[in-house]
Structure 1
Amino acid sequence: MIDFRSDTVTKPCAKMREIMFNAPLGDDVYGDDPSVNALEAFAAQCHGFASALFCSSGTQANLLALMAHCERGDEYICGQNAHNYKFEGGGAAVLGSIQPQPIENENDGSLCFEKIRAAIKLNDFHFANTRLLSLENTIGGKVLPLSYLAQAREFTHSHQLALHLDGARVYNAAVALEVDITEITKHFDSVSICLSKGLGAPVGSLLLGSVELINKARRWRKVLGGGMRQAGMLAAAGHYALEHNVTRLIDDHSNARYLAQRLNEIEGFHVDLTKDTTNMVYAHVSDTIDIHSLAQQLTVKGVLFSPNKTLRLVTHLGVNRADIELFIAELTAALHV
């Protein structure tokens, strides 16, 4: 199958599977898994943090960050489109007793500092305590500029707020900006990074932060049922992904631009080619096209995508130029049946 639904559908390569099979193991809840320990030490060092925690998912990593930064009855500010507000089941409120305060994202995915300032609560017992600003990079495939991240750091310092990054696809941002990952992560008090999207590991995310924050997050991970025992097989895959699958993300970005160009040639589909969204293509679909019927037809032909009037197609290590050409050919044929 050619799968454009998300970069979460990637599968480990043969070399990654071999490393997983041969990974030295121990009980991670006791701190005895050498492969988990190696991943956490490596990740902390290469991202510029004192400590790291291997988590089962990006959702878990973000929730642990929120629960480590905030206490019961505290509040975090984020965007209306933030994944840790909109797409993670309300975990901060449900499990952390933390109030989200979403504000509208700007067109480039950023948050307006004046709107953030207006959302910060007074030191008054009528209000939740505003403790944290959470940003996302990339967001909807869009890259936040380094200058904006520096402004966010200065803003949070001046307002005594912590700063968290949902960096599920932060390596896509770093590759697009052509900078070392630390040029992004250095601005934040904590960062979550997904290993199982474009980086190609089968499972897992990282949470990065200070020793104190990670120790707190580790306790909450256990409380939430996240102790994974002999997790080294998964950690070894994530370690391999960080060492071998970063620079190839540029291929995904190039393939996304090519896909956007080819899709724009088909009547009834429109992609704004002036917007660079790394490995994501957003196409407006004409009302004359039954996109749900089209998705069913292409599934039979071995092509998967999530039907919507604004169609999101995601490139990843499981999609190459030949796959894109086949998709365009099958899409064109289905439209002319």
Structure 2
Amino acid sequence: DRGRINAEQVLNAINPDDVHKPKSSLVSVENTANRGGGSIYQISDLQNIKQVCLNHNLKFHLDGARIWNALVARGEFPRDYGQIFDSISVCLSKGLGAPVGSVLLGSGPFIKQARRYRKVLGGGMRQAGYLAAAGIFSLENNLEKLITDHEHAHMIAEALIPKDFIGHILPVETNILIFEVTGRYQPRSFCDYLAQFQVRCLPISPTQVRMVTHLDVTREMVDRLCQIIHDM
């Protein structure tokens, strides 16, 4: 389901109590799902998976690199997710536009253990407060701007729909577009053509192209891209 799993699939994937098999201990989901075209989980589906985790003594982790996009698109709140997951990782540099940075969230004992593992593996930075300040700025100033990114993605999708060389377009829920290119263009030639106009996109399969809108993409740029697509 466009990168999303459900409680029944999790239940069926749990290994039996067998010495010949690894012991199932963790369920991890991604929200939004990258290769699903920025697809978003329903909170109720996550709650159902959580119940399976509780019943089978499994930890539940959220890869929330794009969680901000999900929150803005659905009008949800961070606490809605914090009540479900044992741990959450979030990214500050994708949609929010910080130069670098991710954050790991969890209980006090969990974070203490994570810091120990980081030290064991040689991790750690000095004077990281400068980077943290950029992350704080992005959280305080750029969340609402994600709405504009989503609007831009929809505008580009609308420009693509009428073209005879565009096949199936995955439903656009956030800032990611994944679509099929066929006929007189192939994914690589399509991307190469747009590169002439300083438009960067990525062929991700023999039939598909991926585009992502972000903080540095302006409405004027999107209007120009839509015109380029119209003229193709």
Q: 1:318 aligns with which of 194, 216, 222?
A: 216
What amino acid is aligned across from residue 280 of structure 1 in structure 2?
Answer: I
Q: 1:327 aligns with which of 218, 225, 228?
A: 225
What is the aligned length?
227
Structure 1: distance between partners of 2:140 and 2:180: 37
Q: Kindly indicate whether the alpha-carbon contact (under 8 Å) linking 2:188 and 2:203 is maintained by their aligned counterparts in 1.
A: yes
What amino acid is aligned across from residue 190 of structure 1 in structure 2?
Answer: S
Give 3-state SS (helix, strand or coil) of 1:255's partner: helix
Identical columns (%): 41
Per-residue CA shift, 1:25-47, capped at 9, x if unaligned? xxxxxxxxxxxxxxxxxxxxxxx
What amino acid is aligned across from residue 326 of structure 1 in structure 2?
Answer: R
Higher relative contact order (CA 8 A, sep 6+): 1
Residue 118 of structure 1, CA deviation: 2.4
Structure 1: distance between partners of 2:183 and 2:138: 41
Residue 221 of structure 1, CA deviation: 1.4
Give 3-state SS (helix, strand or coil) of 1:226's partner: coil
- 1:234 is aligned to 2:131: yes
Which residue number corresponds to residue 133 of structure 1?
27
What amino acid is aligned across from residue 214 of structure 1 in structure 2?
Answer: I
Which residue number corresponds to residue 251 of structure 1?
148
- How does the TM-score come out when normalised to structure 2? 0.90
Q: Kindly indicate whether the alpha-carbon contact (under 8 Å) linking 2:7 and 2:45 is maintained by their aligned counterparts in 1.
A: no
The 5-angstrom pairing of residues 183-222 of structure 1 reads 183-222=80-119
Residue 175 of structure 1, CA deviation: 0.8
Which residue number corresponds to residue 68 of structure 2?
171
Unaligned residue ranges in structure 1 (runs of 5+): 1-106
Give 3-state SS (helix, strand or coil) of 2:24's partner: strand
Per-residue CA shift, 1:261-298, capped at 9, x if unaligned? 0111222113547x233111122111321432342333
Per-residue CA shift, 1:54-77, capped at 9, x if unaligned? xxxxxxxxxxxxxxxxxxxxxxxx
Per-residue CA shift, 1:302-323, capped at 9, x if unaligned? 1111135211111111112221
Q: 1:117 aligns with which of 2, 5, 11?
A: 11
- 1:301 is aligned to 2:190: no
Structure 2: distance between partners of 1:306 and 1:229: 35
- How does the TM-score come out when normalised to structure 1? 0.63
Residue 198 of structure 1, CA deviation: 0.2
Structure 2: distance between partners of 1:200 and 1:217: 25
Residue 108 of structure 1, CA deviation: 4.3
What amino acid is aligned across from residue 13 of structure 2 in structure 1?
Answer: A
Residue 164 of structure 1, CA deviation: 0.4
Per-residue CA shift, 1:204-261, capped at 9, x if unaligned? 1000001111111111112233211111111111111111111211111111111100
Q: Kindly indicate whether the alpha-carbon contact (under 8 Å) linking 1:108 and 1:144 is maintained by their aligned counterparts in 2.
A: no
Structure 2: distance between partners of 1:193 and 1:148: 20
The 5-angstrom pairing of residues 1-337 of structure 1 reads 107-140=1-34, 141-272=38-169, 275-308=171-204, 309-333=207-231, 335=232
What amino acid is aligned across from residue 317 of structure 1 in structure 2?
Answer: L
Per-residue CA shift, 1:121-171, capped at 9, x if unaligned? 223322212111111111130010011111112111111111000000011
Structure 2: distance between partners of 1:252 and 1:286: 26
Worse-matched range after superposition: 111-120 or 154-163: 111-120
What amino acid is aligned across from residue 198 of structure 2 in structure 1?
Answer: G
